[in-house]
Structure 1
Amino acid sequence: MVRIYDQTSRHNDLTIAPGGGANPTADQGANAAALPVTAGGHKVYGVYISAGNGYRNNATNGVATGSQPEGTHVNNRCCFDYGNAETNNMDTGNGDMDAIYFGTLCWFSPCAGGPRVAADLENGLFAGGNGSSTANTGRSSAFVTAMLKNNGTSTYAIKDGNAQSGSLATRYNGALPTQAGYDPMTKQGAIILGIGGDNSNGSVGSFFEGVMTSGYPSDATENAVQANVVSVGYSKSVTFPVNGATYRLTNLTSGKVLDAVNCGTANGTPARLWMWLNNTCQLWSIAP
C-alpha cells in the first residue's frame, strides 16, 4: 500500500515515510490485504502496521501548527502514532508533535494497565498530566476509539472507548505538561501514521480510520463521533493470517526480523534474527 487517501477537501494523502532522525532508511508500505474487517456489513480493509512500516505527509493543508488547537496488535516500541508531527522527519524538540499513541510503552513511570491511548507531544508519551497518570488504565477491546485534543496553550485531554459498544472514557482532562516546551505547543503540521516524529518505526498496530481537526472539539461532538463509530458495527472479517499474504516476523524486543540465511531455499536452511534489509529473504507466508 503506497498511498492512503484523505477523503476530505484538504487532500492530505499519506505516502510511505522517508527516512528520519531515528531511522534514515525510508519505511515500507503495509500489506494492503493483511487486515480485512467488516464495517456496516461490508468487507473493508484497515492498515496493518508492522515494524518498519510507516506513512507521512510533510506538506499538509489546514493542519494546526504552533500553538493552534488540534484534535491486541500492539507492542512496547516507539511509536504507533497518528497525528501532527515535524515537517523535517527529525526530533526538533518538546511540543513539536501532537499525535495519538496507542501501545504498551511506558515512558513516564508508573503506568497502569495497557495498551493505552497516550499523547505523543515529542520526547514523551503522556498518559496524562506531566506524563504519568495511573487513571489511564488502558483499553483492551478488539477495536479501540482513541481521541486526543489539545488547545495548544493550556489544556489537553485523552479519551478512549470500545469502538463496538458503549461510550468514551476520559483518561485525562487538564493542564498541559509543565516541562519546558509544551506550553505553548509548537506543532509543525506534518501528518504521520505508524511512526514517531523522527521516523522511529519499531512499533506495530492496526489502523482503520482517523480524522484530524483544526480547533478544540466539544465533549458532545466527541460523544457523537463515538456513537457513529459504534453504529457502523466493526467486526473481524477473517482469521489471521490472510491466505497468500506475506509478513515480516518481528521480534518485539529487538525489532529484528526472521531471516533465511543467505536467502537459502533448500530444506535445512537455517533462520536467524537480522535487521530489516528490504528483501524477500525476510518475508514469510503463514498457512491459515
Structure 2
Amino acid sequence: MVFNKAALLSALSLAAAVQAAPAASVGLPCDLYASGNTPCVAAHSTTRSLYSAYNGPLYSVVRASDSHTTNIGVLSTGGVANAATQDSFCAGTTCKIKVIYDQSGRGNHLSLAPPGGAAGADVLADAAAAPITVSGHKVYGVYIAPGMGYRNDQTNGVATGNQAEGMYAVLDGSHYNDQCCFDYGNAETSNTDTGNTHMEAIYFGDNTYWGSGAGPGPWVMADLENGLFSGYNAKQNTGDPTISSRFVTAIVKGDSSNLWALKSGNAQSGGLTTGYSGQRPAGYYPMNKEGAIILGIGGDNSNSAQGTFYEGVMTSGYPSDATENAVQANIVAARYQA
C-alpha cells in the first residue's frame, strides 16, 4: 500500500472541520422548543406535523352535503398534511374546518368560537379557500374572513397570570385588513374584555387605532387587551417593520419579569427581525393572562378582521433567541409556496 501524505492530511483536515462544526438543529418546531426547555403546550397546524414523531390528525372537516366529518392526517410520521383525503371527502360539495387539533397531547384543540362581548357566534372557515404547497405537497391553510373564528376556553398548561410564554404563527402576509382583530394566542376564558393585561396574542394586520409600526403596514403586533402594541409606546414603533413577504413568521413572547418581545420574518427565507424587546407598556405589568386560546378573533370575540393561518404554537416558558432562530430555519426548510 502506497502512503499518500497529502491524502492523509486532507482527510485529517476534513475530520477536524466536521468535528469543529456546530451541530445543526434537528427536529420540527416543537422538538426544538422542547430542546430549549420551553416545550409546546399547544401546537396547531393544517399544513404539517410540528413534532417529528407526530402521526395523528391535524384537523377535521365537515361537509355540507350530509354534515359528516372526517379527520385529515399526515402523509407520514412528522410529515405534511394529506390534502388528498380532504379533496376526496369533499368532492362534489363544500367543507368547513371544524376542529384544528392540538399536537402537543394536552388536548388544546380549537373549534368554533362561541358568542362574546363584541359579537355573536362565529362561523367556520372554508376548508378549501387557502391552498398552498409545503415541501412540494398540496395543503390547505385556515382562511379567516370577517365573522369567522376558533377558540378554546378550557385549556391545559397554557400560561395564566404572569407566567412566561412564547408563541409563533406562520401566516399569509398578503391577507389582512385594518379591523379588530386577527389574533393567535392567549385570551380571556369568558369571551369578554376583562381589562388590560388579560391577553397576550399575536396580531397581524394594518390596524392603526391603537398603534403601528414603520411604513404603511401590515405589521406583527401584540394584542395585550385594549391595545395593539408594536413596542413600549402605545403609538408608533419604527423598529417594527412593514411586512411585504407572502408568508410571514410572527412571534410574540412575554417573560414573568417586565420583559416582552416581538419578532417577524419571511417564512420562505432568511432570519428573524426583532421589532421590539424590552419593558412592557405602561399599565401592562404584571400580566393577568387567563389561558384561553384564540384564532382569528379578539379576546372579546371581535371578529371583523381577516387573515390566513398555517401553523402556530404556544410554549411554557420564555423561549431563547437561539431556539426561535432554529424554529425559523425549520419553517424556511419546510418550503412554503403559494
Give yes or no for TM over 0.5. Answer: yes
The 3 A distance-change label for structure 1 pair 48 and 218 is same
Retained in 2: the 8 A contact 1:153–1:176? Answer: no
The whole-number CA distance in structure 2 between the counterparts of 1:139 and 1:156 is 20
The 3 A distance-change label for structure 1 pair 40 and 137 is same
The whole-number CA distance in structure 2 between the counterparts of 1:149 and 1:193 is 17
Retained in 2: the 8 A contact 1:95–1:122? Answer: yes
1:134 match: 238
Unmatched runs of 5 consecutive residues or more in structure 2: 1-96, 167-173
1:39 match: 134
1:66 match: 161
User: Structure 1 residue 65: deviation in Å?
Assistant: 0.2
Map residues 240-251 of structure 1 onto 2, 5 A cutoff.
Answer: none
1:212 aligns with 2:314: yes
Map residues 100-249 of structure 1 onto 2, 5 A cutoff.
Answer: 100-109=202-211, 111-113=213-215, 114-131=217-234, 132-178=236-282, 180=283, 182-236=284-338
1:19 aligns with 2:119: no
Output the amino acid matched with 1:41: G
User: Higher mean Cα deviation, 184-193 or 37-46?
Assistant: 37-46
The whole-number CA distance in structure 1 between the counterparts of 2:136 and 2:104 is 23
The whole-number CA distance in structure 2 between the counterparts of 1:154 and 1:4 is 32
Comparing both structures, which one devotes a greater share of its residues to helix? 2
Retained in 1: the 8 A contact 2:212–2:230? Answer: no
2:101 match: 5
The 3 A distance-change label for structure 1 pair 12 and 173 is same
Map residues 72-111 of structure 1 onto 2, 5 A cutoff.
Answer: 72-109=174-211, 111=213
User: Structure 1 residue 110: deviation in Å?
Assistant: 6.0
Q: Percent identity?
A: 62
User: Higher mean Cα deviation, 40-49 or 221-230?
Assistant: 40-49
User: Structure 1 residue 106: deviation in Å?
Assistant: 1.2
Retained in 2: the 8 A contact 1:4–1:14? Answer: yes
User: Structure 1 residue 8: deviation in Å?
Assistant: 1.3
User: Structure 1 residue 166: deviation in Å?
Assistant: 0.4
Structure 1 runs of 4+ aligned residues shifted over 4 Å read none
User: Structure 1 residue 223: deviation in Å?
Assistant: 0.2
Larger radius of gyration: 2
The whole-number CA distance in structure 2 between the counterparts of 1:235 and 1:78 is 28
User: Structure 1 residue 40: deviation in Å?
Assistant: 1.0
User: Structure 1 residue 112: deviation in Å?
Assistant: 2.1
The whole-number CA distance in structure 1 between the counterparts of 2:272 and 2:308 is 20
User: Structure 1 residue 121: deviation in Å?
Assistant: 0.3
Map residues 270-285 of structure 1 onto 2, 5 A cutoff.
Answer: none
The whole-number CA distance in structure 2 between the counterparts of 1:107 and 1:163 is 27
Retained in 2: the 8 A contact 1:97–1:186? Answer: yes
The whole-number CA distance in structure 2 between the counterparts of 1:191 and 1:43 is 27
The whole-number CA distance in structure 2 between the counterparts of 1:137 and 1:103 is 12
Give the total of aligned pairs: 233
Map residues 52-63 of structure 1 onto 2, 5 A cutoff.
Answer: 52-63=147-158
1:253 match: none
User: Structure 1 residue 42: deviation in Å?
Assistant: 1.1
Unmatched runs of 5 consecutive residues or more in structure 1: 237-288
Q: Secondary structure at the match of 2:322?
A: helix
Q: Secondary structure at the match of 1:211?
A: strand
User: Structure 1 residue 79: deviation in Å?
Assistant: 0.1
User: Structure 1 residue 153: deviation in Å?
Assistant: 3.3
User: Structure 1 residue 137: deviation in Å?
Assistant: 2.0
The 3 A distance-change label for structure 1 pair 109 and 95 is closer
Q: Secondary structure at the match of 2:330?
A: helix
1:218-243 CA distances to partner (integer Å, 9 max, x unpaired)? 0000000000000000001xxxxxxx
Retained in 1: the 8 A contact 2:201–2:252? Answer: yes
